[in-house]
Amino acid sequence: MSKSAVTINYEIRPCKFVERRMLLASLSRILGAIRKEQEYQYIGFGGCSFTDFKLFHRELQINQMMSIENGSYSEYKLELNKPFQCIKILRGDSNTVLSKIDLSIPSLIWLDYDGVLQKYMFEDLETIFHTVPAGSIFIFSCNRELKKGNYIELEGRITNKEDGKEPMSPEEIKEVFGDLVPFDIEPDACTPEKSFYTIKRMLDKKIQGTISDRNLSKNENNNFRLLYNIIYQEKRGAKMFTYGGIVCNESINIDSVCLDNFDFIMKSENEAVYRIDVPILTHRETLALNQILFDIDKEEKFIEDKIITENELMEYKKIYKYCPSFHDVRV
């Protein structure tokens, strides 16, 4: 079990909360348009919070759900925290468990890894995209840092603690990930400013290659349409990257679904990454700010009174619809 699984309450991290609500809003519209009478299954990593399972069962009406669990939580602990009977807990690593699941069913899959990018994750991708039907939605999250110290393959090159904090060189990332790395990788590809783009390119390459091989062998015409390209960092937390989209073919046309009012949805391959940044505001400040949003004069007064900065206001206006409101409830 990862360290974060026992030290972080995943239900109250504001950036994660916002991301989850964004995904839910867009997924609700997508599935509402393409689902017809098909029943979807949800596959994810529940942990002990099962937050995504609760949302997707209630809001997306998904009744067949599977949680892959490879941590040290006991069977009893997981069953006790499981919120609904329709959730099936599958013990084992994702490579093993995914190969045993019937992926020919239309699926919503969120592989929400909390660790850094690893080779086995690409094996999960291959298992999924070799089989899932058109209309299936795939989401992938991981820590986006590509530091030398994160990879045992490079242990011999690290002589001190500071070395481990350095980004990998093009030669080093190729040593770790082999031909998963694009051939034209740039010298600064693993720096904090570009690591998410490098991971995106690696995921693109693996998914497109798997679908291409599948189309050839099965005489199909599938493609993967990228919808989510998101980064965020909780205060003093990990730097995360989320990537996702939908498998399409001639019968599933995502362009027919109106997603224009979701500014976090990618409209083209060249669109910049979407950054979630949640300003730190008190409950009273949030209520007052919501009442005057988009009234330019009143917004300027908030800035003049130093309640919020201009940049914080801009970021808040992007995500206010999805922001959490946490309260201390005494019972």
| Domain 4-145+192-276 in this protein, CATH class | alpha beta
Count how many Cα atoms sit within 13 Å of the Cα of residue 189 in the half-sphere of its side chain: 20
Q: N- to C-terminal Cα distance for the chain?
A: 32
Query: Over pLDDT 70: what percentage of the chain?
Result: 95
The C-alpha atoms of residue 280 and residue 283 are separated, in whole angstroms, by 10
Domain boundaries, the chain: 4-145+192-276, 283-322
Instruction: Give the residue with greater pLDDT, 5 vs 190.
Output: 190
Whether pLDDT at 112 is above 80: yes
DSSP per-residue string spanning 52-120: HHHHHHHHH---EEEEEE-SS--HHHHHHH---TTEEEEES-HHHHHTTS-TTS-EEEEEEEEEE--HH
The C-alpha atoms of residue 1 and residue 250 are separated, in whole angstroms, by 41
Whether pLDDT at 98 is above 90: yes
Q: Torsions phi, psi of 53, nearest 5?
A: -65, -40
Give the pLDDT band (50/70/90) at residue 307: very high
| pLDDT single digits (tens) 160-212 | 888 889 999 999 999 999 999 999 999 999 999 999 999 999 999 999 999 99
| pLDDT single digits (tens) 270-287 | 889 999 999 999 989 999
Whether pLDDT at 6 is above 80: no
DSSP per-residue string spanning 204-268: HHHHHHHHHHHHHHHT---EEEEEEEEEEE-TTS-EEEEEEEEEEBTTB-GGGS--TT-TTB-SS
Q: What's the pLDDT score for residue 38?
A: 82
Q: Which helix (H) or strand (E) holds 326?
A: none
Which residues are registered as beta bridge partners of 42? 65, 108
Give the pLDDT band (50/70/90) at residue 25: very high
Give the pLDDT band (50/70/90) at residue 12: low
Q: What is the mean pLDDT of residues 91-116?
A: 96
Q: What's the pLDDT score for residue 285?
A: 93
CA–centroid distance for 156 within its chain: 32
